[in-house]
Amino acid sequence: MYVDKSVEKQYISDILEMHLKQNWMSEERNPTRYAYEQSFGEYDVEKARKYINNPISFMKELFENDIDIVKVIKVKERLEKVVDDINNSLEKLGEIILTRQQHFSESSDKNLTLEKIILSKRRIENKTKDTDKVNFINLAQQRFTSPGSSNEAICPESLIEDAIYVLGKCIISSPQDFYNVLKKDCYKYIQEFSTLWKTQRADLCKKSLIDCIEISKNSYWNKVKGCQQRCPFCGYVLIILEIIIKIINSFFKKFYRSKCELAEHEPNTNHRASFHLMACFAGFRNISTNGPTLIICNEPKNFDIDYCKAGDCENNLKFDEHVKKNYPEWWSLLGQKQPDDDQIKQVRTMWINLKDELCSRLKMVDNTPDSWYQDYKHLAKN
């Protein structure tokens, strides 16, 4: 291969790390916010359905789609840079050979060792062989490589040193003829490389880069998915019977609730979810009517409702006090931030368009206000 795999792995890693920090690991962009914005925020019924059915799976799908887009762009850019770097290096090699050829055409030197021919330079005065060697190697590295370039393996110091070590004592009877042959071979190699790159190596290089990204997908998803705790109220059933609460909570606790947006954090750190849903999306309803709970957990009217914790339904508390006592790690946001008008509109629109299938599947009796049909039904995209 013409590409050092370790170099390309580091390149892919650096590119993905930067992309993830900018687009998946900030307060403004994280999997939870992005999943909500792409579904409810876009009034997209199909994506909202995926979000409700399995939000983590939907977030991962969006993440992988985004990485696939980045993959196409960055692999294309990298392939262009690889071939440019190699062509530039070959061009520089040709210039070095031409410079040496001109030098020896003006010299009467004969029967020189390969080491002396390689390290020789014009107008060398008062320099030791070791200094010559260092200068030539530094020049070669300057011309053939640059930090982070894709052709770092083309002319590394070790290859030059190995060539001198193995063949350095060989006697070249005519340095001028030596460089004439080297010039022809270099031109031939450039032509062969161009053909080989177009017919084989470009595809192999492309596959190598793509494989690096594909192999890294899961590990990078694990970096960005963040805290897995869910809001305890987006799916908290508004009923008093302790046994029913226990059954429903144990069944639904794995699904549907708004996930914390933060990265993995210590247990004593407060959770945060900027967007919450109505409890009815999780199948929670009034036990006496089976009517869906059409309230977003941090809506103002929810603060007037009595709540109890499963197993302690004799001690009801208003929402604010209930959160402070039983879920203090969520109170800092739930107790202060309310959904804005756009969010209420988005959540209600998705309910209007998904309620029939949700009520049927989760055995709820539709109690949606008639005014919602006129106000929200038409806003959905599909």
Domain residue spans in the chain? 5-224, 242-379
Pairing of strands 306-309, 312-318: antiparallel
84-88, 112-116, 201-205, 320-324: which has the minimum mean pLDDT?
Answer: 112-116
Residues 101, 102, 107, 110, Cα dihedral to 10°: 10
Residue 49: the pLDDT is: 94
Query: Higher-confidence residue: 139 or 338?
Result: 338
- Average pLDDT (62-86) is 89
CA-based nearest residue to 277, from 101, 41, 117, 3: 41
Residue 7: the pLDDT is: 62
Query: Higher-confidence residue: 240 or 259?
Result: 259
Write the CB contacts of 376 (distance below 8 Å, at least 6 apart in sequence): 345, 348, 349, 351, 352
Residue 299: the pLDDT is: 84
Residue 135: the pLDDT is: 47
Contact 317, 358 (CB under 8 A): no
Write the CB contacts of 164 (distance below 8 Å, at least 6 apart in sequence): 114, 115, 118, 119, 133
CA-based nearest residue to 72, from 210, 246, 231, 218: 210
Q: CA 144 → CA 96, 163, 274, distances in Å?
A: 11, 17, 51
pLDDT at residue 348 is higher than 90: yes
88-92, 196-200, 213-217: which has the minimum mean pLDDT?
Answer: 88-92
pLDDT, tens only, 271-303? 888 888 888 887 878 878 899 989 888 888 888
Residue 238 binned pLDDT confidence (cut-offs 50, 70, 90): very low
Structure tokens at 147: 């930090």
Q: Other C-beta atoms within 10 Å of 336: how many?
A: 9
CA-based nearest residue to 117, from 168, 156, 159: 168
- Average pLDDT (340-366) is 93
Helices 45-53 & 341-362, crossing angle to 10 degrees? 70
Residue 322: the pLDDT is: 84
Residue 250: the pLDDT is: 44
Q: What is the DSSP string of 283-300?
A: T-B-TTT--B---BTTSG
At 86, which amino acid appears? I
| 3-state SS, residue 139 | helix
Structure tokens at 113: 């060792």
Residue 156 binned pLDDT confidence (cut-offs 50, 70, 90): very low
CA-based nearest residue to 3, from 186, 211, 307: 211
- Average pLDDT (135-147) is 45
Query: Higher-confidence residue: 313 or 178?
Result: 178
* CA dist., res. 379 & res. 376, Å (int): 6
Residue 329: the pLDDT is: 85
Residue 142 binned pLDDT confidence (cut-offs 50, 70, 90): very low
> What global pTM score does this model have?
0.71
Structure tokens at 96: 């070095």
Residues in the chain: 382
Block residue for tokens 């690889």: 82
Block residue for tokens 């990265």: 263
pLDDT at residue 327 is higher than 70: yes
| pLDDT winner (highest mean) among 120-129, 159-168, 186-195 | 186-195
Residue 353: the pLDDT is: 95
Structure tokens at 19: 């992309």
Across the chain, mean pLDDT equals 77
